[in-house]
Amino acid sequence: MKRIILLITVIAVTSVAFGQNAKYVSSMEKTIATIDTSKSVASLRLVCNSFERIANAEKKEWLPNYYIAYCYMLMATYDKSNDNIDDYCDKADGFIAKADSLKPDNSEIYVLKGWASSSRIRVNPMARGQKYGMASAGFQEKAKSLDATNPRPYFMLGMGKYYTPSAFGGGKDKALPLFEEAVKRYKSFKPVSSIMPHWGEKQATDMLADCKKD
């Protein structure tokens, strides 16, 4: 009788855990899908709110915090006013730290660390270029070392070179091999689940095409 009760308890606990996991995955899938259709700061803030609700409900999961940080980096990209860049990056760094505490030494998280650093350069390229450029490259190299299959560090390194003046070691010719490597890796990269990061392939392909133009 005790064995039967124990078996029933195990099945019940497993079912509840599976149900919670399925609900979490479903919520994440739906919210991730809204990122691609959000092309403004205002719409991305709404997406962040949705991810924050998931993060509050699933405190042990790192991906909701990762995607909040990712959305803030997209805000920094879409907002053409450099006055807001540091604010977006500060907010992104806060959620990156939360994700990092839940999932240390993760390649995808280091990609965002590098992106946040490089975005700060836009505020004052002459004053910030060397400091944040070196920090960003360091984070991307760390991301490469943590997952050699991840295409995103190569994509972000390519972006860094593309927007660095040729006088300082950048330009299309320096960015081109990085974009080539990124596109090659995107073709073979397979996210381990439907809610893992998968962004950047189209942008990398477009940037590669641009670098090949005369």
Sign, Cα dihedral of 101, 146, 108, 194: negative
Cα 12 from Cα 6, distance rounded (Å): 10
Query: Is residue 3's pLDDT more than 70?
Result: no
Is the confidence at residue 13, as pLDDT, over 90?
A: no
CA distance 154 to 179: 7
CA-to-CA distance for 92 and 71, rounded, in angstroms? 8
- How many other C-beta atoms can be found within 10 angstroms of the C-beta atom of residue 141? 14
Q: Are residues 178 and 157 in contact, defined by beta-carbon separation less than 8 angstroms? A: yes
Which residue has tokens 């091999």? Answer: 177
Q: How far apart are CA 211 and CA 214, in angstroms?
A: 8
Chain centroid, CA 107 distance in Å? 10
- Amino acid residing at 199: W
189 token code pair: 């990269």
3-class state of residue 48 by DSSP = helix
Q: For the chain, what are the domain ranges? A: 22-104, 113-214
Report pLDDT for 29.
97
pLDDT of residue 4: 54
Q: What is the residue-averaged pLDDT of the chain?
A: 91
Output the pLDDT for position 80. 83
Give the fold, CATH level 3, of 113-214.
1.25.40
| Distance, first Cα to last Cα, the chain | 79
pLDDT in tens, 144-191: 999 999 999 999 999 999 999 999 999 999 999 999 999 999 999 999
Residue 212 has pLDDT above 60, yes or no: yes
Residue 143 near residue 107 (C-beta atoms within 8 A): yes
% pLDDT > 70, the chain = 90
Q: How far is residue 209's CA from residue 214's CA, in Å, rounded to a whole number?
A: 10
Residue 146 to residue 192: CA distance in whole angstroms: 15
Across 11-25, 70-84, 168-182, least confident range: 11-25
